[in-house]
C-alpha cells in the first residue's frame, strides 16, 4: 500500500463542525481567501476548496437552508439565473469539453454540506480521468486554487 500524505486536510476533517457553514462563512472576510467569486441579491458563487476538477465551483442561496422546496420563489429564480450565468462564465473562461452539474440534498444523497443547499458545477475535459483517479484514487490538480480564482474572477465580474 502506498501512503499519500495530505496533512492540510486535517484542518478540514478535525474541526468541520466548529467552522460552521462554509457558504455563510464565504460571505465574510477576504473574498479571495474565501474563494468567493461574488454574490447576487439571493445567491453566491464560490470555488470548491476540495475540487473534483480544476474550476469546480458551487452556487448556493445566500439564505441558509437545506430545502430547495421551501426556498421562496424570487430566491429560487435568482439561484437558477446565477447557476445559468455561472455555467456560461465558466465555459467561456475555461473552454471545457463538458460540465457536470448536480445537487445532493441530504446526507443519504451524498451531500457534504447537508444544511445549506448548493449546486456543484464541474468543468470536464476529454481524458481528464486518468490512471491516478481511476486506479490510485488520487486527483492531480493542474493549477493552484488562487490561480484558478484569479483566472475566473474577471469572468464573473457580473457578480457583486
Domain that holds residue 55: 9-156
- pLDDT tens for each residue of 62-108: 999 999 999 999 999 999 999 999 999 999 999 999 999 999 998 99
70-81: burial string, b at 16+ Cβ within 10 Å, e else: ebeeebbebbee
Please report whether residue 2 resides in a domain.
no
- Classify residue 16: in a domain, yes or no: yes
Query: Grid coordinates 476529454 are at which residue?
Result: 126
* Rounded Cα gap, residues 86 and 92, in angstroms: 10
Contact criterion met (CB below 8 Å) for 73 and 143: no
pTM: 0.81
What CATH number has the domain bearing residue 97?
3.30.428.10
Distance CA(74)–CA(113), nearest Å, equals 23
Is residue 70 one of the residues assigned to a domain? yes
Domain assignment of residue 3, yes or no: no
How far apart CA 47 and CA 34 sit, in angstroms, is 8
**β-sheet with 43-47: strand ranges across:** 36-39, 43-47, 57-61, 119-124, 98-102
Q: Minimum mean pLDDT among 80-84, 125-129, 138-142, 154-158: which range?
A: 138-142
Domain count, the chain: 1
Catalytically active residues are: 118
pLDDT per position as a tens digit, 9-50 = 665 555 555 568 999 999 998 999 999 999 999 999 999 998
Q: Is residue 1 part of a domain?
A: no
Amino acid at each position: 500500500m502506498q501512503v499519500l500524505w495530505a496533512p492540510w486536510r486535517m484542518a478540514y476533517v478535525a474541526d468541520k463542525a466548529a467552522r460552521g457553514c462554509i457558504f455563510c462563512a464565504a460571505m465574510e472576510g477576504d473574498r479571495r481567501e474565501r474563494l468567493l467569486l461574488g454574490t447576487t441579491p439571493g445567491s453566491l458563487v464560490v470555488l470548491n476548496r476540495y475540487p473534483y476538477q480544476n474550476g469546480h465551483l458551487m452556487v448556493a442561496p445566500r439564505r441558509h437552508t437545506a430545502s430547495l422546496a421551501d426556498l421562496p420563489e424570487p430566491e429560487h429564480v435568482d439561484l437558477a439565473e446565477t447557476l445559468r450565468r455561472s455555467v456560461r462564465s465558466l465555459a467561456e473562461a475555461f473552454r471545457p469539453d463538458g460540465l457536470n452539474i448536480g445537487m445532493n440534498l441530504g446526507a443519504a444523497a451524498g451531500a457534504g454540506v447537508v444544511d445549506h443547499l448548493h449546486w456543484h458545477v464541474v468543468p470536464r475535459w476529454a481524458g481528464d480521468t486518468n490512471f491516478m483517479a481511476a486506479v490510485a484514487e488520487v486527483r492531480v490538480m493542474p493549477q493552484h486554487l488562487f490561480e484558478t480564482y484569479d483566472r475566473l474572477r474577471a469572468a464573473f465580474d457580473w457578480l457583486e
